[in-house]
Structure 1
Amino acid sequence: MQAKTQWVNTQDQQRLYVKTWGSDEKPALVLVHGYPDNQEVWEPVIQELLQDFYIVTYDVRGAGQSSIPARIRDYRLAQLSLDLESVVNAVLKDQPFHLAAHDWGSIQSWESVTEAKFKARILSYSTISGPCLDHAAFWMRHQFKHHKSTFFKQLTKSWYIAVFQLPLLAPTVWSFFSPEKWGKVLEKLEHKKNLPSNPHIASDGKHGIGLYRANFVPCLTRPRQRFAVCPVQAIVLKQDNFVSPELIDEMPKWAENFQRVDVDANHWAILSQPKLVADYIRSFALQQI
């Protein structure tokens, strides 16, 4: 499996490392990775999808080989949406595309999926373990008012979000993670051995903290009404240690064409069950063609 590589400059002069896979005569599918990963995390899934799609992946700003912004505000969702736009304009020109994303890739992709300028450009969106922060804020408010036990259940899963707001402690912690140690964490979470590990884990973990610091407080305190401009599929990981499946209950309110599928897996199902995840992405995307 060989990828073509290129660099794409963003509107604020960051550099994103982009890979394309397969034949550009096939329908385009963009995959956006989460935290603390880089685009390599998608490779087991890509192997299952190459026959059907022309696949585009990229290291988001601060991850992998892409450049590292100097300011926290450079990780804002609006800028991350512009990054996606820069990548697809450079690689696909005006061609419409399907979109699938995991974890923070999913959170940031919601910003584009709810932007009017992407209507008819994004053909379908498969979201994995990454709700829209605006939707999550409305959900949390409702749960706190009517179902406090559910509210506090999600808070216990999201303890790391508060830790990531600490300016010195959070980046320092990642310096203790080697690829081998991170691999053991993944094996324990997914109950599967020999999963692909991240050789850039210390750097990706340290710099990606900017995603949390730039976005959580503004979005959760001042949520916006954000409606999807394309069909949405939620691939729900029932054993997810970080995102409660209950959060998905909010999504149908914001997506006119919505589908949900449940997978008995933990947070990194894209590594532990790549074929199953790929099957769901393929099936949903091809329904929209």
Structure 2
Amino acid sequence: MQAQTQWVTTSDQQRLYVKTWGNEAKPALVLVHGYPDNQEVWELIIQQLMQDFYVLTYDVRGAGKSSVPKRIRDYRLEQLSLDLESVVNAVLENRPFHLAAHDWGSIQSWESVTEPKFRDRILSYSTISGPCLDHAAFWMRQQFRQNKPRFFKQLAKSWYIAAFQLPVLAPTIWTLFTPEKWDKVLQQLEHQKDLPLNSHIASDGKHGIGLYRANFLPRLTRPRQRFAICPVQAIVLKQDNFVSPELIDEVPKWAENFQRVEIDANHWAILSQAELVAEEIKTFALKNN
């Protein structure tokens, strides 16, 4: 596969590394990666989608080849949404686009998907293993009142969120990971060998902790009402070790046009079940083109 590459400068002067794939005349599709990944995690998916879409990916701030902010507050959701806006304005100009995202890419993309200024710009949104933090906060509060076992089940899955708040220990742990060691972790989680290596895993893991520190406490303690401005598809991974499929139960309250599909896979299905995930993204986007 051949990609066109360019750099985009954000509103606060960070530099994001951007790639585009396929025929520019096709419908535009933006893919936003999660943590601790960079845009290379999408390449198996891109192989399936570039015949039908003009695909755009980018390393989010602090990941891959993009620049690393110095302050935790520079990872706020509001700024991440501005980053997406900077990228699509630079590459797509005024064109509308479809959006799909995984993990933290999905969490941050919800900020844009619930922003009125993106109405008629974002044509559809496929979210994978990344709830809107505001929606998740409302869901957790309801479960605590009505279904405490379900509340504590998700709390147990989210142990790493508390660990990532530790100022020295969390970044240090990531320095111990080599691409090969991280690959063994993914193999165990996904029950599949020969998955693509992340050569930036130590730095992606270390710097991306800022995403958690800048956003979780503010959003979970002071959730906002956030309504989707486009059709939303939740690709639910039934075996996800980190995000409970039950979190998606909250989404229909906030998305007028919503559909849910399920895949029997773990958290990194975009690697282990790339064809299935790509087909769901493709079908939903073309239906809402």
**Is TM-score (shorter-chain normalized) higher than 0.5?**
yes
User: 1:155 & 1:176 partners in 2: Cα distance?
Assistant: 26
Show the 5 A alignment for 1:171-186.
171-186=171-186
> Is residue 286 of structure 1 aligned with residue 286 of structure 2?
yes
Structure 2 residue matching 1:108: 3-state secondary structure: helix
User: 2:197 & 2:143 partners in 1: Cα distance?
Assistant: 36
RMSD, aligned α-carbons: 0.3
| Runs of 4+ displaced beyond 6 Å | none
Q: Name the residue aligned to 1:25.
A: 25
Task: Give the residue type in structure 2 aligned to 1:171.
Answer: P
> Is residue 7 of structure 1 aligned with residue 1 of structure 2?
no
Q: 1:103 offset after TM fit, Å? A: 0.1
Q: 1:89 offset after TM fit, Å? A: 0.0
Q: Name the residue aligned to 2:125.
A: 125
Per-residue CA deviations over 1:188-214 (Å, capped at 9, x if unaligned) read 000000001100000000000000000
Structure 1 residue matching 2:160: 3-state secondary structure: helix
Q: Name the residue aligned to 2:203.
A: 203
Task: Give the residue type in structure 2 aligned to 1:138.
Answer: F
User: 1:25 & 1:56 partners in 2: Cα distance?
Assistant: 13
User: 1:159 & 1:197 partners in 2: Cα distance?
Assistant: 25
User: 2:228 & 2:155 partners in 1: Cα distance?
Assistant: 26
Q: Name the residue aligned to 2:270.
A: 270
> Is residue 89 of structure 1 aligned with residue 89 of structure 2?
yes
Task: Give the residue type in structure 2 aligned to 1:267.
Answer: H
Task: Give the residue type in structure 2 aligned to 1:116.
Answer: P
Q: Name the residue aligned to 1:60.
A: 60
Task: Give the residue type in structure 2 aligned to 1:121.
Answer: R
User: 2:251 & 2:62 partners in 1: Cα distance?
Assistant: 28
Q: Name the residue aligned to 1:105.
A: 105
User: 2:140 & 2:197 partners in 1: Cα distance?
Assistant: 33
Per-residue CA deviations over 1:242-280 (Å, capped at 9, x if unaligned) read 000000000000000000000000000000010000000
Q: 1:54 offset after TM fit, Å? A: 0.0
User: 2:134 & 2:197 partners in 1: Cα distance?
Assistant: 31
User: 1:38 & 1:283 partners in 2: Cα distance?
Assistant: 25
Q: Name the residue aligned to 2:69.
A: 69
Q: Percent identity?
A: 80
Q: 1:121 offset after TM fit, Å? A: 0.1
Structure 2 residue matching 1:180: 3-state secondary structure: helix
- TM-score, structure 1 normalization: 1.00
User: 2:28 & 2:288 partners in 1: Cα distance?
Assistant: 13
User: 2:4 & 2:125 partners in 1: Cα distance?
Assistant: 24
Structure 2 residue matching 1:20: 3-state secondary structure: strand
Per-residue CA deviations over 1:220-263 (Å, capped at 9, x if unaligned) read 00000000000000000000000000000000000000000000
Structure 1 residue matching 2:266: 3-state secondary structure: coil
User: 2:275 & 2:11 partners in 1: Cα distance?
Assistant: 35
> Is residue 143 of structure 1 aligned with residue 143 of structure 2?
yes
Q: Name the residue aligned to 1:43.
A: 43
Structure 2 residue matching 1:31: 3-state secondary structure: strand
Per-residue CA deviations over 1:1-48 (Å, capped at 9, x if unaligned) read 100000000000000000000010000000000000000000000000
Stretches of structure 1 that go unaligned for 5 or more consecutive residues are none
Task: Give the residue type in structure 1 aligned to 2:225.
Answer: Q
Stretches of structure 2 that go unaligned for 5 or more consecutive residues are none
Number of positions where the alignment pairs a residue of Structure 1 with one of Structure 2: 289
- TM-score, structure 2 normalization: 1.00
User: 1:238 & 1:134 partners in 2: Cα distance?
Assistant: 22
Task: Give the residue type in structure 1 aligned to 2:159.
Answer: W
